[in-house]
């Protein structure tokens, strides 16, 4: 299972079990926003997406 989170130069988001959830919560750390009309995710400059395989050291948010 893959986990997703967004990283900015100063903050790291929590791990989420799917990309859509990670995108919805990206605004909490200032990583981007979801466009209301199109539903498209817009990342701010210097924002990165990290993808990791679930394991004991990487726990998803529940």
DSSP for 19-57, written as a single string: HHHHHHHGGGGTSEEE-TTT--EEEPTT-EEEEEE-BTT
What share of the chain has pLDDT > 90, as a percent?
76
> Domain segments of the chain: what residues?
1-35
Higher pLDDT, 57 or 47: 47
pLDDT at 59: 62
**Considering only CA atoms, which of 14, 37, 18 is closest in space to residue 6?**
14
Question: What integer pLDDT is reported at residue 4 of this predicted model?
Answer: 97
């Amino acid at each position: 299972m893959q986990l997703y989170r967004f990283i900015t130069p100063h903050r790291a988001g929590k791990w989420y079990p799917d990309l859509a959830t990670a995108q919805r919560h990206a605004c909490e750390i200032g990583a981007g926003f979801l466009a209301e009309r199109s539903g498209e995710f817009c990342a701010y400059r210097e924002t990165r997406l990290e993808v990791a395989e679930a394991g004991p050291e990487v726990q998803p948010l529940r």
